[in-house]
Amino acid sequence: MNSTNELTGIQKLFPLLAEKNVNMRREIVAGITTFLTMAYIIAVNPSTLAATGMDAGALVTGTCIAAALGCFLMGFIANLPFALASGMGLNAFFAYTVVLKGGVSWEIALSAVFVEGIIFIFLTLFKVREAVVNSIPLNMKHAVTAGIGIFIAFIGLKGSGFIVANEATLVSMGHISPTVIFAFVGLLVIGIFDKKNIKGAILAGIVVSSFLAWGYALINPETATKLGIYLPAGVFKYESINPIAGKVDFSFLAHPNHIGNFLVVVCTLLFVDFFDTVGTLVGVCSKANMLDEEGKVPNVGRALLSDSIATTIGALLGVSTVTTYVESSTGVLAGGRTGYTAITTGVLFLLAMFFSPIFIAIPACATAPALIYVGFLMISSLHNIDIHNVTEGLPAFITVVAMPLTYSIGDGLTIGILSYVVINLLYNLFSKKEDREHVSWVMIILAILFAAKLMFM
């Protein structure tokens, strides 16, 4: 009797164990499919975060371990076929906005990610996270996704050398250098593979661009070095995670004037991750007809908890915010329906970390096609925005444009939220009661916080 009760308790804690008649072959194939479509993060994340001065080799290991952990949590706790890894857009915000533009050390930035994860755990346990997300207007959610997409694509174009700085016009088109050609070929490969429904399109683009770049380095090593292209220093190698693990730094607490900026970073990470995870869960489940009769994601609380725990531990491992990947849709469309799909993807991430020399040597011009294409996929949310309703469409437009033009996801969000609240409150002030637009208290509080940020920080 005790044995039966214990088994029931385990099954409640890990719903995956209660699954029966699972098509393991289909689940494994789905997990492999998901991994192939998101494996580019093993190259892109170290490339992005290394700009802050973090160790690239350690970042490969940290990225893989954090991704594997997130996948295992999602599989066992939520029993859903979704994979997790350091989020695109969130890693760019971490590196380019918080550290490089904000002048914050990467150790303190990791502390912000850690705090964000802790807050998310509590918000999820008390079901506040879902409530807050439901209060944010749908058009703004789509705008955030599209804005991040353009920002990521801009970073990719810059990394390839296609876009360069210009004193007169801020930016302009660069010379058609070898790096631009390699990136363009990789983008073509991704587009053709995707059009032909060939799995692993993004990874294929990175591989093709990398081999072209490495071939160029063999023929013309001096010029290649100037372009930031280097040959791999080997194939098999495990890089220690020590240079970045456990480096969270709370020394800023001794300086009260820094606490405000830190809280703004935490709030921005919270805000962006809100939409990244929930939007992905809803979108992928919708594609696979996995939503329940009320249109809700099954085990959504457990899914969000898995995401929160992975983010918290990921910060201790030395990587930016871990989130659920929209590329999980490829595995779901391949037949993945249980946590075994996510677990398969996690195992592959663990195996990948033993090939760090290859991932470290992948140049920016090879990861650029992935950034550009992911940006293209994210910008597709624009068609969901109601541009004919000015009180909804104009703030969404401001959000989308502000992110890449300020080169900051945080600033874009700040301006977008403020514009939404101000425009709608002014409209309501001069409108009849029945014509007024609903503005949630959550949005008003966020606007007040962001206004304080602009005025005093």
In order, the DSSP letters of 419-457 are: HHHHHHHHHHHTS-GGGPPP--HHHHHHHHHHHHHHHH-
Q: Which two tokens stand for residue 120?
A: 């998310």
Q: What is the CA radius of gyration of the chain?
A: 22
Cα separation, 144 vs 125, whole angstroms:
25
Residue 85: its H or E element: strand 84-86
Alpha helices in 93-137 (DSSP H): 106-125, 128-135
371 and 153 Cβ atoms separated by less than 8 Å: yes
Residue 395: inside a domain, yes or no? no
pLDDT band at residue 288, thresholds of 50, 70 and 90? low
Q: Which two tokens stand for residue 74?
A: 């999602």
175: left (phi over 0), alpha (psi -120 to 50) or beta: beta
Q: Is residue 401 part of a domain?
A: no
Q: Can you state the angle between helices 256-287 and 128-135, rounded to 10 degrees?
A: 80
**Highest mean pLDDT: which range of 19-28, 74-83, 278-287:** 74-83
> How high is the pLDDT of residue 130?
66
- pLDDT for 279 equals 64
Lowest mean pLDDT among 8-12, 31-35, 110-114, 140-144: 8-12
In a domain, 54, yes or no: yes
384 in Cβ contact with 393 (< 8 Å): no
Contacts of the segment 435-442: beta carbons below 8 A, 24+ positions apart: 437/391, 437/392, 440/135, 440/136, 441/135, 442/132, 442/135, 442/136
| Alpha carbon separation from 274 to 23, 57, 124, 254, 288 (Å, rounded) | 33, 30, 11, 30, 22
Q: In 3-state terms, what secondary structure has residue 317? A: helix
Classify burial at 268, counting beta carbons within 10 Å of its beta carbon; exposed 0-12, middle 13-18, buried 19 or more: buried
The count of domains in the chain is: 1
Average pLDDT, the chain: 85
Q: What is the pLDDT of residues 198-229, one digit of tens each?
A: 877 888 888 899 999 999 999 999 999 988 89
User: Which pLDDT score, from 0 to 100, does residue 457 have?
Assistant: 59
pTM above 0.95, yes or no: no
Angstrom distances, CA of residue 285 to CA of 31, 361, 374? 16, 36, 20
Strand, coil or helix: what is 257? helix
In a domain, 31, yes or no: yes
Q: Residue 279 in contact with residue 377, Cβ under 8 Å?
A: no
In a domain, 404, yes or no: no
Determine contact, residues 251/270, Cβ cutoff 8 Å: no
**Do 346 and 72 touch, CB atoms closer than 8 A?**
yes
Q: What phi and psi, each to the nearest 5 degrees, are found at residue 172?
A: -160, 175
pLDDT interval class at 275 (50, 70, 90)? low
**Structural domain harbouring 281:** 22-237+252-380
- pLDDT of residue 59 exceeding 90, the answer is yes
> Is residue 191 in a domain?
yes
Residue 244 inside a domain? The answer is no
The C-alpha atoms of residue 289 and residue 38 are separated, in whole angstroms, by 22
CB 124 within 8 A of CB 381: no
Write the pLDDT tens digit of every residue in 322-344.
Answer: 998 877 877 887 788 899 999 99
Judge whether 104 and 123 are in contact, CB under 8 Å: no
Residue corresponding to tokens 């969130």: 90
The answer as to whether 154 is a domain residue is: yes
Closest among 128, 119, 125, 117 to 86, alpha carbons compared: 117
